Chains A and B, each alone.
Chain A
Amino acid sequence: MQTTPEPHLANGSNLITTFHLAQKAPLILKRQSSSVETVAPSSLRGIENYGVVEQLLFSCLQSGDDKSALLCTEQLAARFGMTDERIIGLRGMYEEAVAENPTRLEECLQTYDLALSENPVNLPVLKRRIALLRSLSRPVDAISSLINLLDAVPTDAEAWCELADLYHSQGMSSQAAFCLEEALLIVPNSWNIHAFLGEILYSGACASETTECSQLLEVSIHHFSRSIELCTDYLRGFYGLVSATSLLSRNRRLMDHSRDSSPAQASPLTDKLLDELTLFARSRLDEIVRSRSSDHQAWKDNQGELIAAKELLHRLDKSPL
């Protein structure tokens, strides 16, 4: 969604950086308010600053600094007015964050419904409402509202990704894959969506029968490959490629054993190519992990991914193909 960073798609943002950013909030807010008083508000710098304030609001909310968050919303409301669509959405997010119990959240939901009855295409509020439904653990409602939203706004890649995530959380991977394909039609060159689609197909493959599993894995490998073709050191893409190729080659070996004389594979992904790809992906992942581990300072925000990748390599080393 627009206002919640997508956990699957956010690259390089984690709680530690968010916290560091939020600690600077009082400083920035003070400078902002003093500059509003002294400098004429028409300067170009002001426009950029309001973007900063919005980002700051998100960081403050994530790190629990509700006082600064309130200041942020007040500054934004003072500039753009309380009736602005985005301001309503941001205020709503603040209210949600400070709500202590589910009844308060229900009140937020009613506020959103009221705002929507005034203006049915208030996109920020529509999206907030769906996010709230999701956090109230009503995913079915969230999915149906999101489908309604996407029916009216089919060109919103964020919303398609969110719907894919919701479907995936409900275990409906084919629907999730469809949503991600729609998102790809809007932003065809985004490697993270390619990798995400590969992940969805991979997890779908893990849950299905052997023959179907191989087909899904092949498509998943296609998408992971496309993702690393677009971004040559995308750790997530390589991680997925390593997992998918090793699983597929294990499956094929099992099938060969069980059937003895396997029919000629009709797929374009020949065994030779698959082996080559497996080897390549593992060595490349190893390379990336090593270079990033040595340069600890620059990649300290992505330690989680690095540790996971090391874990995978370690596991694969222990169980040879």
Chain B
Amino acid sequence: MALQGVEQTILRDPALFYWIVFPITVVMILTGILRHYATVLMNNPPKPASTLAESRERLGLIRGVNLRNNSSVLSKESFEMRKNYLVSAYQSGAFLKDPASRGQPPANPMTDPAGMEAMMGMMKGNMMMMIPQTLIMSWINAFFSGFVILKLPFPLTIRFKSMLQSGVMTRDLDVRWVSSLSWYFLNLFGLQSVFGFILGSDNAANHMASQMASMNPAAGINPFQPGQDPDKLYQSEAENLEVIEHFCILDGVEERVLAHYAGRKSY
């Protein structure tokens, strides 16, 4: 173990900064920008619904989500009426594009051309992430592996060792030393705000955003992922609607308004 209380010193060539830290950072920023533009170039917008029935199938689900989220603007009777209508429509599959194929296993997304296209889109996005990362990581491994390039100005606990010193197999080295491979990882995760500054907040270099987007179904125009069975989503939405606890925001609104103004000034 390193001696307690004794500052570890490593004599570093100052050229390390110019030849390793600086190039890695610049390359990371440039690839981020390049990836952004490549994604924009290759990305084709999601296809809008081509028939009214398709649009109905997609938006019918969002209508239920809206009712669930904003039910408080309705009175009790209006809410119950809408809830009963939507639940029975969801359960009987009234919103489905073709009700005849209900209950059958969903078409294989590999054979369905529309699903295939969406899959390709996702794959392209993933490839845009994977390929540059693999290339840069192998580049760093080949040229800079094992270099200790930075010393953090503050002490850290031993747990950070695996994060800051990957590629350097020295047990005794103080945690404050940062290896080149770790500098790459720090850049990979830490440059989001730099990209946000250069490219705007909704940039495609930000891979976290793209991952989040695929998890949130209500955000896009099409709430259904390829290969997903709309009927299943409808059934679960019907269950969500049934258990909802309704309150009406219009109850006692007069008292609220009066109290609000009475608090500010006498009228």
Interface residues of A (CB under 8 A from B): 119-121, 148, 151-155, 178, 181, 184-186, 188, 219, 221-223, 225-226, 228-229, 268-269, 273, 276-277, 279-280, 283-284, 287
Contact = CB atoms under 8 A, between A and B. Distances in A.
Contacts of B75: 219
Contact of A154 (B50, B54, B60, B261): B60
B127 to A, nearest CB: 27
A153 B55 CA distance: 6
Q: Chain A CB within 10 Å — which of B54, B78, B256 has the most?
A: B78
A120 B56 contact: no
Contacts of B267: 279-280, 283-284, 287
A228 B73 contact: no
Q: Chain A CB within 10 Å — which of B49, B261, B267 has the most?
A: B267
Given A185-B74, A186-B66, A226-B253, A120 B261 contact: no
Contacts of A279: 267
A276 B73 contact: no
A219 B253 CA distance: 11
Nearest to B264: A232
Given A120-B51, A188-B72, A228 B66 contact: no
A229 B257 contact: yes
Q: Chain B CB within 10 Å — which of A155, A185, A279 has the most?
A: A185
Contact of A229 (B53, B74, B82, B256): B256
A155 B250 contact: no
Nearest to A122: B48
Interface of B: prevailing SS: helix
A268 B249 contact: no
Interface in B22-69: 48-56, 59-60, 62-63, 66-67
Given A153-B59, A225-B254, A184 B70 contact: yes
Contacts of B260: 229
Contacts of A120: 50-52
B103 interface: no
A184 B56 contact: no
A205 to B, nearest CB: 15
Contact of B59 (A155, A226, A273): A155
Contacts of B70: 184-186, 188
A176 B54 CA distance: 27
B258 interface: yes
Given A154-B63, A222-B250, A284-B261, A184 B48 contact: no
Contacts of B48: 121
B252 interface: yes
B67 A185 contact: yes
Contacts of B63: 154-155, 185
